[in-house]
Amino acid sequence: MSEFNRNLMHRWFDEVWNQGSVAAIDELLAEDAVLYGLADSQGSPVQGKDSFKAFHAQFRSAFPDISVTIEDSICEGDQVAVRCAVRGKHSGDSLGFAASDNPVDFTGMAIVRIKDGKFVEAWNNFDFLALYTQIGKI
């Protein structure tokens, strides 16, 4: 089970983030999933597929060449933890301000709980302070 879950996590970052696949979101994310550490337009945790798809579209539009590399992963039972490196260029205006055209390079960690082959809960801790500093907003 752990290896299956590890493969799901690798697919998530490769297909959803690196390739931008909305079909992979539908396949891998539970309808009522909660993703802590990612915020919706009201600042609440992202809840459900539709809310995540909106977050994903906005972020991928700001960073269309985003590349997430899993540096480490640990699996235990129904949970997978990963440490990631994120790189890209801020070339889209979808964050509510003009694109800086600056490159970004930051790190993060995510822990997900998987049930029936889908992500049902996630705890994300990405260095958005570094991201916003690199694009000149802090």
pLDDT digits 0-9 by tens, 33-69:
999 999 988 889 999 999 999 999 999 999 999 999 9
Q: Where are the domains of the chain?
A: 2-134
Whole-model pTM: value is: 0.93
Structure-token pair, residue 117: 């082959």
Mean pLDDT score, 6-27: 97
Average pLDDT, the chain: 96
Q: Please list, in sequence order, all residues whose beta carbon lies within 8 angstroms of the beta carbon of residue 113, skipping any fewer than 6 positions away.
A: 78, 79, 119, 120, 121, 122
Q: How confident is the model at residue 134 (pLDDT cuts 50, 70, 90)?
A: very high
Quick one: pLDDT at residue 41? 83
Check whether domain 2-134 has CATH 3.10.450.50, yes or no: yes
Residue 1: pLDDT above 80?
no
Mean pLDDT score, 5-15: 97
Residue 24: pLDDT above 90?
yes
Instruction: Give me the DSSP letters along 46-93.
Output: EEHHHHHHHHHHHHHHHSTT-EEEEEEEEEETTEEEEEEEEEEE----
Quick one: pLDDT at residue 127? 98
